[in-house]
Chains A and B, each alone.
Chain A
């Protein structure tokens, strides 16, 4: 047997591997988070699915389960600071470690046209330090950064102008000379600024103090920052995080934007699934921001400026927009004293501008194809209501009936009996939860069977939901699995912290899981038939297929707007 030798990482919070179907995916309440700030070396660019099951159990469970989990529910300590910061804590004293999860209510949905990818770029920039950490002398560094950002912004504007003029054949030698001068100054300033950078100092401090699993992730609805530490290092965490909530400095901006471009290429452009889902999602949403890839469109990423990024931080990263969840070997009283003395001094921030765009009803099937040098696959989505709508719980049940496990309907029919697919899956909450979203189905056909055959077979199962009542045994199975998942979700400090913060952020209440469990338990056979009939219609669906590219290849070149600096 053989493994990576990585002297600092460990599997502290690695999710237990569970295999319910061949996709390795699990059904249930799930949140798609598009991008991690930091790679693991094992990363293959696969989108992470964060299991978002729940925290507590309720009455209909047998006594044993209910005691175990509700006991833990009683242990959640909830506090709110005067500046609006929410803190959730659970004591767990088995091991002298602590998991910290800081989640902000900001993500892809808060971006404007022309600035897509901004939430994710900010998340990367948040690792560049503050006025104290990450710098050798901030007072000297500051004026250089300011000039550098001015020059860089002007340089890029002029470069875009030149590109346009070149197309019109009206570019002059003065235009080029001006750009050359700016480019020279840009490089000088970048080098000067670099002299003051203490590279990755924040991460280095965490690592030196035994921190593991330092990471961050940006989704449609939220952005989260995670770390696990030996329990007595909490003061280090509070000092670093309060500082970055108050005084981040956007160092190494242009290089990091280049890193994000490489991340985009890795996850979306060179990945058949990445490109399929990006295309599918933007076809399904015409108006709402859910249609925009969280990582951003290439041209937008390359136009993001330090000023945009700074403004985004000011609008969305205030304490009132954040939840901190802390699970581990802690004393909540002492933790609150620490948090008051650090985060408590940060002024309250203005409330978020409201999201106004609502996706108009879909009036007809949409079909898109993606050509790729890869074998075919398929994803289908139906618009549906988001979090809190009564029908949302019905979709959770449908999701489990269709694709949870080897005995689920889609697996049984498409994989085992017809043998036309090797894997199938579904997700009741794609790609976010705060706004109306999609119920999606996906499948990997088995050659020589086609995506068309697989699609037809999936519709047959969807029709069955409308016409045939789901059996009581299937409903019982769904609930048994949900209840077991609720207990399993309590196993790891990091998992628990992430879920408390998640529900607090998207539902405004960490108890959401408890409440939703009972609503799911109350779903009836008639509800399923009604919801299937109402939402699973041809005119409400978007179908995307990955098509094997045939014949001549186009030559891939580096985008014009990106010069190596």
Chain B
């Protein structure tokens, strides 16, 4: 959930202690060469939300914002598909979906939809892999009714049988359509190879698993997992704090504490000795859709910040990155190209490089990926690359506080993940102090050519030969989803 750009909200001064990479004065530079302009760091003290804990354990963040007559709230819920039973993958997600569509709080499904849409209230509920989320967005005049409906769907969803059936049918059709787009195939297969196809971070529902899920399963899943002490609620917008708190106590205060699920996901053991894995999926396409990478660290890892900056320089920062400049700008071989460090605190992260390129340039792109990865592992980044990465991070820091909902949302994510509320500030301090040597050490340790998994989706006739130089090539045969 987190990334380094999340905010340090509530800790006051933002950029005052900014490193002086671009210090100076703006006024005199008006008409000068944009390459040599300097500016003072932006100073900003973001507003600080209130944090209140109800007796039943529910945590509430509040931040008033009266610019527009709107109120918005999001309940982050400790529930997710890590809880799915092995034979009923998809249960958490379906439960979230029918909490929204199946009626509740004494109102029929039809009545809920009708009322909300008549007054233009937006309400959504979803349960993902590691968290659930319910949000409401209404004009402030509609707060009371909107909140009533919201609470009804969270606390006492009705799971109307017709809506349960509809959600299952829709989910099944979605599964049938999984192989339509090469991009979704390559992403899914890559994840499965890295974590293993039964791991909570990669496993997927099937038509069989969805068919097995009953209304009773959803009712039980909701009863077992959704508790006030597993919820962090964030409220922003046009309200008075104490009135809002009173309202929230009214609707949530009598909800009894329960046993909130524990979010624990097993690590994937590393194969010994590590060896490269090369796979392709045959699909009639004009491009080869490519992913290369391996499992990576968690956010609590001491190397996190140095690895994040290494990835930023390698391929994480679009225009500024090496992969973008090499594969796209200089060679013209791909439109969307770069690397990502996908990290969380609960499971191992993924580090990957990606591109789509026409079939004849497949080998060249993979070779460039490998070469750039090697270069990160063997050479220090340049002084200007490091300086640019630091400046970009520090100078764009203010955008982590761009709105009250962004501020509150980040604090909630941090608390959900058990990270300190000054996490982002700590990251920033680390970024500012980072040395080239630390980046090299992190790259050397955490970008591992011998562990690379390569997945390519494209022409089944040509790919095996094009990929053969990078390891032992095997085909993934997609079973038809029916």
Interface residues of A (CB under 8 A from B): 1-13, 16-20, 22, 38-41, 43-45, 62, 64-65, 68-69, 94-97, 127, 132-133, 194, 199-201, 203-205, 207-212, 214, 228, 230-233, 235-236, 239-240, 243, 252, 254-263, 265-266, 269-272, 338, 341-342, 372-375, 404-407, 415-416, 419, 422, 444, 446-447, 473, 476-477, 480-481, 483-485, 487-488, 490-493, 549, 553-558, 562, 564-565
Given contacts A5-B343, A7-B431, A239-B37, 19 further A-B contacts (CB under 8 A): A1-B1, A2-B344, A3-B2, A8-B312, A11-B402, A41-B338, A65-B141, A96-B43, A96-B44, A97-B399, A133-B34, A203-B320, A207-B320, A214-B319, A230-B398, A480-B118, A480-B119, A555-B459, A564-B364
Question: Which residues on B sit within 8 Å (CB–CB) of A258?
Answer: 331-333
Docked CA distance A85–B140 (Å): 39
Docked CA distance A483–B33 (Å): 45
Question: Which residues on A sit within 8 Å (CB–CB) of B173?
Answer: 422, 444, 446-447
Question: Which residues on B sit within 8 Å (CB–CB) of A254?
Answer: 332
Docked CA distance A406–B332 (Å): 44
Contact B308 A5, beta carbon cutoff 8 Å: yes
Q: Which of A5, A233, A476, A493 contacts B340 (CB 8 A)?
A: A5
Question: Which residues on A sit within 8 Å (CB–CB) of B113?
Answer: 405-407
B282-308 vs A: 1/0 string, CB under 8 Å?
011111010000000000000000001
| A454–chain B nearest beta-carbon distance, Å | 12
B392-407 vs A: 1/0 string, CB under 8 Å?
1111111111110110
Interface residues of B (CB under 8 A from A): 1-5, 22, 26, 29-35, 37, 39-40, 42-44, 46, 67-70, 101, 113-114, 117-120, 122, 124, 128-131, 137, 139-141, 166, 169-170, 173-174, 176-177, 179-184, 283-287, 289, 308-309, 311-312, 316-320, 324-325, 328-338, 340-344, 346-347, 349, 354, 356-361, 364, 388-389, 391-403, 405-406, 413, 416-417, 431, 459, 461
Question: Which residues on B sit within 8 Å (CB–CB) of A18?
Answer: 122, 124, 137
Question: Whose C-beta in chain A lies nearest to the C-beta of B330?
Answer: A255
Docked CA distance A263–B332 (Å): 11
Question: Whose C-beta in chain A lies nearest to the C-beta of B481?
Answer: A375
| A106–chain B nearest beta-carbon distance, Å | 22
Contact B336 A2, beta carbon cutoff 8 Å: no
| A233–chain B nearest beta-carbon distance, Å | 6
Question: Whose C-beta in chain B lies nearest to the C-beta of A493?
Answer: B402
Contact B319 A212, beta carbon cutoff 8 Å: no
Contact A12 B402, beta carbon cutoff 8 Å: yes
Contact B181 A477, beta carbon cutoff 8 Å: no
Question: Which residues on A sit within 8 Å (CB–CB) of B284?
Answer: 373, 549, 553-554, 556
Docked CA distance A485–B121 (Å): 10
Docked CA distance A4–B317 (Å): 12
Question: Whose C-beta in chain A lies nearest to the C-beta of B183?
Answer: A44
Contact B398 A210, beta carbon cutoff 8 Å: yes
Contact B325 A95, beta carbon cutoff 8 Å: no
Docked CA distance A257–B328 (Å): 11
Question: Which residues on B sit within 8 Å (CB–CB) of A214?
Answer: 319
Question: Which residues on B sit within 8 Å (CB–CB) of A419?
Answer: 166, 169
Question: Which residues on B sit within 8 Å (CB–CB) of A11?
Answer: 5, 402, 406
Question: Which residues on B sit within 8 Å (CB–CB) of A480?
Answer: 118-120
Question: Whose C-beta in chain B lies nearest to the C-beta of A99?
Answer: B402
Docked CA distance A282–B472 (Å): 44
Question: Which residues on A sit within 8 Å (CB–CB) of B401?
Answer: 95
Docked CA distance A209–B342 (Å): 25
Contact B170 A22, beta carbon cutoff 8 Å: yes
Question: Whose C-beta in chain A lies nearest to the C-beta of B329?
Answer: A199
Contact B416 A243, beta carbon cutoff 8 Å: no
Question: Whose C-beta in chain A lies nearest to the C-beta of B316?
Answer: A6
Question: Which residues on A sit within 8 Å (CB–CB) of B174?
Answer: 422
Contact B285 A556, beta carbon cutoff 8 Å: yes
Contact B347 A2, beta carbon cutoff 8 Å: yes
Q: Which of A416, A488, A549 contacts B70 (CB 8 A)?
A: A488
Contact B131 A265, beta carbon cutoff 8 Å: no
Contact B169 A201, beta carbon cutoff 8 Å: no
Docked CA distance A5–B312 (Å): 9
A-B CB proximity, top 9 nearest: A1-B1, A210-B395, A258-B332, A2-B344, A255-B332, A39-B336, A203-B319, A484-B120, A374-B180
Docked CA distance A97–B26 (Å): 15
Contact A208 B22, beta carbon cutoff 8 Å: yes
- Which of B39, B341, B394, B406: most chain A CB closer than 10 A? B39
Question: Which residues on B sit within 8 Å (CB–CB) of A257?
Answer: 332
Q: Which of B120, B394, B403 contacts A491 (CB 8 A)?
A: B403
Contact A95:B332 (CB < 8 A) given known A7-B5, A483-B120: no
Q: Which of A232, A270, A338, A405 contacts B286 (CB 8 A)?
A: A270
Question: Which residues on A sit within 8 Å (CB–CB) of B117?
Answer: 404-407, 477, 481
| B356–chain A nearest beta-carbon distance, Å | 5
Question: Whose C-beta in chain B lies nearest to the C-beta of A235?
Answer: B30
Contact A65 B139, beta carbon cutoff 8 Å: yes
Contact B406 A12, beta carbon cutoff 8 Å: yes
7 A-B pairs in the complex with CB atoms less than 8 angstroms apart: A2-B2, A200-B319, A208-B391, A235-B29, A252-B332, A254-B332, A258-B333
Question: Which residues on A sit within 8 Å (CB–CB) of B309?
Answer: 7
Contact A7 B317, beta carbon cutoff 8 Å: yes
Docked CA distance A106–B308 (Å): 40
Contact B39 A6, beta carbon cutoff 8 Å: no
Contact A230 B166, beta carbon cutoff 8 Å: no
Docked CA distance A555–B39 (Å): 56
Question: Whose C-beta in chain B lies nearest to the C-beta of A234?
Answer: B26
Question: Which residues on A sit within 8 Å (CB–CB) of B181?
Answer: 44, 270-272, 374
Question: Which residues on A sit within 8 Å (CB–CB) of B396?
Answer: 8, 10, 207, 210-212, 230
Q: Which of B43, B114, B324, B344 contacts A3 (CB 8 A)?
A: B344
Contact A558 B35, beta carbon cutoff 8 Å: no
Question: Which residues on B sit within 8 Å (CB–CB) of A553?
Answer: 284
Question: Which residues on B sit within 8 Å (CB–CB) of A375?
Answer: 176-177, 180
